[in-house]
Amino acid sequence: MILYSVYIESVVAESLTGLKSKERNQLLRFFNKLRSNPFLDGDYVERGDIGRLMQVIVVGRYAVVFWADHAVKEIKASI
């Protein structure tokens, strides 16, 4: 199994420590799920500032926006 690397914005990474453990664990489980399933469809799709299609999935009370760069096996994510 090929796992992708998941990169999240630094502001998101910094805020994870301040979340309740249940919320933090939900987000971490989702990011791990993305690592093994980079073709995951979101709940809906948005077009980013440069026209890239971005998946949006609701995890708890957060909307996680992500896109996969399959050429380098990376996923970029934000909340």
Residue 47 belongs to domain spanning: 5-78
pTM of the model: 0.88
Q: How many domains does the chain have?
A: 1
Instruction: Report the CATH number that the domain containing residue 17 is assigned in CATH.
Output: 3.30.2310.20
Give the integer Cα–Cα distance in Å for 13 and 20. 14
Give the model's confidence band at 63: pLDDT under 50 very low, under 70 low, under 90 confident, else very high: very high
One DSSP character per residue, 28-60 reads HHHHHHHHH-TT---SEEEE-TTS-EEEEEEET
Give the model's confidence band at 66: pLDDT under 50 very low, under 70 low, under 90 confident, else very high: very high
Tell me the Cα Rg of the chain: 12
Q: Which residue has the higher pLDDT, 14 or 56?
A: 56
The pLDDT of residue 1 is above 80: no
Encode pLDDT of 2-38 as tens digits.
899 999 988 888 888 888 999 999 999 999 999 999 9
Give the integer Cα–Cα distance in Å for 38 and 25. 19
Q: Which residue has the higher pLDDT, 41 or 2?
A: 41
35: left (phi over 0), alpha (psi -120 to 50) or beta: alpha
